[in-house]
Amino acid sequence: MKGLFACIRKELLLLSRDLHGLALLFLMPLAFVLIMSLALQNQFSEHSGTRLKVLVVDADRSDASRAVLATMAEGNAFDFVVPTHAPASLALDEQLRRGDYAFAIEFVAGFGPALLPSDGTVVDPLIRISVAPDSNKQTETIFLTTVRAALGRERMRALLGGLGVDTQSANDGAHADIGVHYAYVGGGTQRNPSAVQQSVPAWLVFGAFFVVVPLSNTFIRERQQGTLRRLRSTNLSALTLLAGKLVPYFGINQLQVLLMLLAGSYLVPLLGGEALQINGSIALLALMAAAVSVCALGFALLIAVSSNTTEQATLLGGTGNIILAALGGIMIPKFVMPPTMQSVAQWSPMSWGLEGFLDVLLRSGTLRDVAPKAAGLILLGLTAILLAWLVQSRRTD
Amino acid sequence: MPARRAIQHDRRGAQSTSMNQPALIRVSQLRHRYANAAVLALDDVSLSIPQGCNFGLIGPNGAGKTTLLSILTGLQAVQFGSVAVAGMDVARDGRRIKSISALVPQDNAFYGGLTGRENLRFFADVYGLTNAQWRERLEYCTGVCSLGESLDKRVAQYSGGMKRRLNLAIGLLNAPQILYLDEPTVGIDVLSRRVIIEAIQAMRTQSTTVIYTSHYLEEVEALCDELAVIDRGRLVARDSTANLLQRGSQQSLLLSFAQVPPPSALQALQRWQPHALHAQQFELSVPQSGDLETIMQRCNAQQLPITQVQFGISRLERIYASLLQHQTGEAEAQP
């Protein structure tokens, strides 16, 4: 045991003095968590974010035009700007070209009475829409649908009002017509996932796998400098030597997980993002953290014994990590991948790690949800360790 | 010259003592082949090493020295033959053998990111020293290797010589009965080399058996009581250093001239096979001391002014070279 503790202490001392290694293990994933959580929060957030701006020119200034505008604004998809003075047609186009607005919507004079004409009055068109040149077709379709829906609703209200129906209660009821349900594992909360809940597990898994660089480097340096040879000439067993390397880095992985969770919970909100919500069980989180670590350590050992130089290991480990991350939905969320790539992604252990953490953090998953991913990671990690052992025993240096 | 004689005399005295000691290490018909290698790394090597002696293991690069050390230290398994250390079989009693020995590898085998003290503490813990033993050994090792002032500096800041001294100090931590030194003085300054050599000499007083490999043959000659020369995996010679030197010295005449001798002058000495060591220094093979007068007369006749004459004193370097040449000749003569 004395030998094991000596190895662990030595490894931690060496790492504590390796600024590059520390930065790679702690600062790099922390930076990713902060940057991605803040940068992507609008993609995930329900109520905040940069909405496309729409310039409103209301030449009618009627209750009907104001009601349509209010209905469109309820959708929270667009930010409607009503200037004090309506711009001239040329100025409006210029503002769209400059990118000040994505769209301009103009309620023509006579919009209100023409909405439900009783005297055969025809105003064509009722609403004019101008589109910025850089607007994409998908956004344009969404905007037009929003306008048509609001217009139809206002027309319906006017019609029902004319028939003596209480349009206010009908309007209120419309909000309950559609209930949104998120298909979380375990049937948990209906809360929308925040950017931080997506980013923390993703970059946490990525960071954990980056132990491959310092761990393989320390292993190779010991081999190159003859230290391994010296240690093997003592009574330190091969298992102690191996444990002396793996135990400290396993601890470091757990510390990474803790720090990333704390950063998501406390640091991201300080910087204006949403706080990380830990919905699931802490024990399952610990299980996933341990499973990811075992897999990462196995990968690191395999790289260490297959490389002859630290440069080779850094290149192989770093590139391997980036490929696994890109495949596993760390860098590019799996849901934006085409189906073929999504099926390929399932083969990346980082994907298992990420999905396992998402099960716990986001979907209030149970052991049944998490166990297959954790077992896969542990099995792969142990296989890699075994393989590394075999490769090392065949090496003559 | 008298100083050299004195060293040799002392060594011979020590040699006779170590020859009387029982064998601590016995290697019998040892053969070793690395995976996918065409030739044997060790080919039928048998030797014994007495307890308490400084034993030199010399040979060219790739001769098999490191393989032999690896087997003795338990880093490589015995494939064919047998190796016994302190009466124990290396295959069966590896742990006990390791506990009484230490290896100082050719490389600086420690951690540059730690201080000297932290490195020593780490290896002391690996050796399983108690706190009291650690304090006692730290004092001894740092003293004998002159490391005291630099102990708390990061090793990465050490000079090459200090690193070598730390390398040795780590090997002394567990007070080994057998110390394996694999080229411990490569690439260091004179001062550090002296410290290391003195530290190795100090081992003698503690009855430590030192197995020493080096390409610095002067060092080997000065330090080692007994020698084994190994080449292409085969044992070429195994004797006491004194005997080997005597064997070579009997026929050796070293002549230094005031100027570079012309070929015609050397032709006159052809009978004694002059071998140029430098442009003005030649070694002649003189089987009979009676030839000395004839040689001097011929030099005079050729008007070759002699500045120095040495007879009956040989250097390990020359003996080693001739042993290897002989071995190469035999190998080439084989079909």
Predicted confidence (pLDDT) per residue in A213-255, tens digit: 888 888 888 988 889 989 989 988 888 888 899 999 999 999 9
Tell me the longest C-alpha to C-alpha distance in chain A: 104
Contact check, Cβ <8 Å, B128/A396: no
Q: Give yes or no: residues B215 and B277 share one domain.
A: no
| Chain A CB within 8 Å of residue B170 CB | yes
SS (H, E, C) B14-32: HHHHHHHCCEEEEEEEEEE
Give the helix ranges, DSSP H, for B30-115: 65-72, 94-99
Q: In chain A, what are the helix, strand and coil shares in percent, each to the nearest 5?
A: 65, 5, 30
> Do B20 and B81 share a domain, yes or no?
yes
Residues B179 and B36 in one domain: yes
Q: Is residue B319 part of a domain?
A: no
Task: Assess contact for B318 and B283: CB atoms under 8 A.
Answer: yes
Q: Does B166 touch chain A if contact means CB atoms closer than 8 Å? A: no
CATH pick for A50-184 out of 3.40.190.10, 3.30.420.40, 3.40.50.300, 3.40.250.10: 3.40.190.10
Give me the CATH number covering residue B266. Answer: 3.30.70.100
Residues B110 and B186 in one domain: yes
Residues of A in contact with B122 (CB under 8 A): 6, 9-10
All CATH 3.40.190.10 domain ranges in chain A, comma separated: 50-184
Instruction: Please name the member of B75, B98, B154 whose beta carbon is closest to the beta carbon of A235.
Output: B98
Counting every residue written for chain A, the total comes to: 397
From the centroid of its chain, how far is CA B193?
A: 14
Among the ranges given (A323-337, A372-386, B129-143, B175-189), the one the predictor scored with the smallest mean pLDDT: A323-337
As for the ipTM of the complex, it is 0.76
E strand intervals along B220-319: 226-231, 234-240, 252-257, 275-276, 281-285, 306-311
Q: Which residues contact A299 (CB under 8 A, 6 or more apart)?
A: A209, A212, A317, A320, A349, A381, A384
A chain contacts of residue B109, beta-carbon cutoff 8 Å: 225-227, 229-230
Same domain, B61 and B185: yes
Does one domain contain both B270 and B162? no
| Residue B127 with chain A: CB contacts under 8 Å | 234-235
Predicted confidence at residue B335, as pLDDT, reads 47
Q: With CA atoms as reference, report the closest residue to B94 among B127, B72, B68, B109.
A: B72
For residue A39, give both structure tokens. Answer: 């940068």
CA distance A26 to A229: 31
**Has residue B174 been placed in a domain?**
yes
Cis peptide before A125 (omega within 30 of 0): yes
For B277, residues 6+ apart whose C-beta sits below 8 A from its C-beta are B254, B283
Q: Between chains, do A10 and B107 touch, taking CB under 8 Å as contact?
A: no
Classify the C-alpha dihedral A146-A150-A151-A156 as positive or negative.
Answer: positive
| pLDDT of B16 over the 50 cut | no
**Residue B265 lies inside a defined structural domain of this protein:** yes
**Same structural domain, B128 and B204:** yes
Shared-domain flag, residues B168 and B236: yes
pLDDT of residue A3: 87
Å from B208 to nearest chain A CA?
17
Q: List the beta bridge partners of residue A52.
A: A78
Picking from A218, A300, A292, the residue whose alpha carbon sits closest to that of residue A260 is A292
Residue B329 domain flag: no
> Residue B327: inside a domain, yes or no?
no
- Residue B322 domain-assigned? no
Co-location of B142 and B255 in the same domain: no
Alpha-carbon separation of residue A230 from A82, B108, B122, B180 (angstroms): 78, 10, 12, 11
B25 plus B11 within the same structural domain:
yes
Q: H-helix or E-strand containing A393?
A: helix A367-394
Here the CATH number for the domain that contains residue B156 is: 3.40.50.300
Nearest to B318 by CA among B257, B264, B260, B247: B247
- Domain co-membership, B22 together with B108: yes
Evaluate if residue B105 carries a pLDDT over 60. yes
Give the three-class secondary structure for B226: strand
CB under 8 Å to B11, separation ≥6 — which residues?
Answer: B222, B225, B241, B242
**Residue B331 domain flag:** no
Residue predicted with more confidence, B283 or A374: A374
Which whole-number Å values give the CA distances from B119 to A14, B68, B106, B116, B123, in the listed order? 11, 27, 17, 5, 6
Interchain contact B98–A (C-beta under 8 A): yes
Write the CB contacts of A380 (distance below 8 Å, at least 6 apart in sequence): A295, A298, A349
Contact A227 B111 (CB under 8 A): yes
Q: pLDDT tens-digit profile of B200-234? A: 888 877 788 999 888 887 888 888 888 898 888 88
Buried b or exposed e, range B146-172, using 16+ CB within 10 angstroms: bbeebbeebbeebeebbbbbbbbbbbb
Question: Cα–Cα distances in Å, from A209 out to A14, A109, A216, A357, A382?
Answer: 19, 63, 12, 15, 15
Distance of residue A32 Cα from the nearest chain B Cα, in angstroms: 29
Q: According to the model, what pLDDT value does residue A383 have?
A: 95
| Single-letter residue type at A94 | E
**Which residues lie closer than 8 Å to A19 by C-beta, 6 or more apart?**
none
More confident of the two residues B247 and B115: B115
Give the pTM. Answer: 0.71
Residues of A with CB under 8 A from a CB of B: 2-3, 5-7, 9-10, 13-14, 17-18, 224-227, 229-236, 394, 396
Query: What is the pLDDT tens value at each position of chain A, 397 positions in all?
Result: 888 999 999 999 998 998 888 888 888 888 888 888 777 766 665 444 457 889 999 888 888 889 899 888 887 778 889 888 777 777 888 888 888 888 999 988 888 888 777 666 677 788 899 998 887 788 888 899 999 998 888 888 888 877 777 666 555 544 556 666 665 554 544 445 577 877 888 888 998 998 888 888 888 889 888 899 899 899 888 888 888 999 999 999 999 999 988 988 888 888 887 788 877 889 999 999 999 999 999 999 999 888 888 888 888 888 888 888 888 888 877 777 777 888 888 888 999 999 898 888 877 788 988 999 999 999 999 999 999 888 877 765 5
Q: What are the start-end ranges of the H helices in B145-257?
A: 160-172, 190-205, 217-223, 241-249
Helix (H, G, I), strand (E, B) or coil at A76: coil
Helix (H, G, I), strand (E, B) or coil at B171: helix
pLDDT of residue A48: 47
Q: Is B103 on the interface with A (CB under 8 A)?
A: yes
- Interval B98-117 mean pLDDT: 91
* Contact (CB<8Å) B111/A10: yes
Hunting for tokens 């001798």 — which residue is that? Answer: B261
Please report residues of A whose CB lies closer than 8 A to that of B113.
13-14, 17-18
- Confidence at residue A169, expressed as pLDDT on a 0 to 100 scale: 59
Neighbours of B15 (CB within 10 A): 22
Is residue B32 within 8 A of residue B76, CB to CB? The reply is yes
C-alpha A103/C-alpha B25 separation (Å) is 92
**Nearest residue, CB atoms, A6 vs list B35, B110, B125:** B125
Order of all β-strands in the sheet with B209-213: B101-104, B178-182, B209-213, B54-58, B226-231, B234-240
**Domain total for chain B?**
2
Residue B195, in any domain of the structure:
yes
Residue-level pLDDT at B305: 87
Q: Which residue's structure tokens are 């079989």?
A: B89
Q: Average pLDDT, stretch B43-70?
A: 88
CA dist B144 → B131, B165, B198 (Å): 20, 9, 8
Give the residue from A306, A309, A290, A313 showing the smallest Cα distance to A378. Answer: A290
The domain containing residue B192 runs over which residues? 2-246
A200 phi and psi angles, rounded to 5 deg:
-55, -55
Nearest CA in chain A to B72: A233
Contact B74 A2 (CB under 8 A): no
